[in-house]
Amino acid sequence: MTVTYHVALPFIRAQDGTIAPSEALECRDAGAAILRAEILSRIQGNVGAIAFSRTGDPDAGKFEDAVVLKRFGEVPTDLTMLF
């Protein structure tokens, strides 16, 4: 069974100055993920956020590459380590 997950992922500044992912939040659809990411990007302590989707078969553990829907604030240029 193929499903699509929509996620909002905030980023924080780590003690060494790098930008690191925080706790991801699953959302009901792409619009909700984009809105949640925008809100998360404005919360004190967060430096930015992204909304992304990922489609695949969780039972088989096979997923397509994630699709970034929108970026807010400071986020790493290279997001491949997250997906």
Residue 77: the pLDDT is 87
Nearest of 36, 26, 23, 22 to residue 4 by alpha carbon = 26
Q: Which pair of tokens denotes residue 39?
A: 């809100």
Q: What dihedral do alpha carbons 36, 37, 41, 47 form, nearest 10°?
A: 150
| Mean pLDDT, contiguous 10-residue spans, the chain (83 residues) | 96 94 97 98 97 95 94 92 72
Q: What is the pTM of this model?
A: 0.91
Separation of first and last alpha carbons in the chain: 20
Residue 78: the pLDDT is 87
Q: Which pair of tokens denotes residue 37?
A: 């990411």
The ranges assigned to domains in the chain are 3-75
